[in-house]
Homo-oligomer: A and B are copies of this chain.
Amino acid sequence: MPGHVAVVGLGLIGGSVARALAHLGREVVGFDADAGRIQAAADAGVIMRAGSSIGEAAAGAAIVFVAVPVGDIADVAVDALRAGAELVTDVGSVKAPVIRRVEAEAPELAPHFIGGHPMAGSEQEGLAGADPDMFRGTTWVLTPTEHTDPDAYARLRGVVRDLGAEVIAVPPDDHDSLVALVSHVPHLAAGTLMLVASRGSGSERGPLLRLAAGGFRDMTRIASGHPGIWPDICVENREAIVAALDRYLDALAEMRERVAAGDRSGLLTSLEEARHARTNLPIAGLERGPFVELRIPVPDRPGVLAEVTTLAGQIGVNIVDLEIAHSLEGQEGVLVMVVPETGAGDLEAALEKVGYRTSARPIE
Using CB atoms, name the residue of chain B closest to A225.
B275
A167 to chain B, nearest CB (A): 12
| Residue A307 interfacial (CB < 8 Å) | no
A267 close to B234 (CB less than 8 A): yes
Contact of A252 among B181, B192, B197, B270 (CB under 8 A): B192
B216 close to A182 (CB less than 8 A): yes
Q: How far is the CA of A237 from the CA of B211 in the complex (A)?
A: 17
Interface residues on chain A, number (Cβ under 8 Å)? 101
Q: Which of A19-27, A128-136, A312-320 lies at the interface?
A: A312-320
Contact of A222 among B202, B218, B265 (CB under 8 A): B218
Q: How far is the CA of A174 from the CA of B205 in the complex (A)?
A: 10
Q: How far is the CA of A249 from the CA of B273 in the complex (A)?
A: 22
Q: How far is the CA of A210 from the CA of B317 in the complex (A)?
A: 11
Q: Which of A60-68, A76-84, A255-263 lies at the interface?
A: A255-263
Q: Which of A41-49, A240-248, A332-340 lies at the interface?
A: A240-248
B256 close to A242 (CB less than 8 A): yes
Instruction: State which residues 182-239 of A face B: CB under 8 Å.
Output: 182-183, 185-198, 200, 202-213, 215-228, 230-232, 234-235, 238
CB contacts (< 8 Å) of A104 on chain B: these are none
A207 close to B267 (CB less than 8 A): no
Using CB atoms, name the residue of chain B closest to A200.
B181
CB contacts (< 8 Å) of A226 on chain B: these are 275
Q: Which of A182, A200, A313, A315 has the most CB of B within 10 A?
A: A182
A265 to chain B, nearest CB (A): 8
B248 close to A203 (CB less than 8 A): no
Q: Which of A251, A275, A277, A282 has the most CB of B within 10 A?
A: A277
Contact of A168 among B211, B258, B313, B316 (CB under 8 A): B211
| Residue A121 interfacial (CB < 8 Å) | yes
A182 close to B277 (CB less than 8 A): no
CB contacts (< 8 Å) of A265 on chain B: these are 231
| Residue A354 interfacial (CB < 8 Å) | no
10 A-B residue pairs with Cβ-Cβ distance under 8 Å, sorted by A, are A119-B211, A183-B216, A186-B193, A188-B255, A191-B275, A195-B274, A211-B284, A217-B281, A234-B258, A249-B253
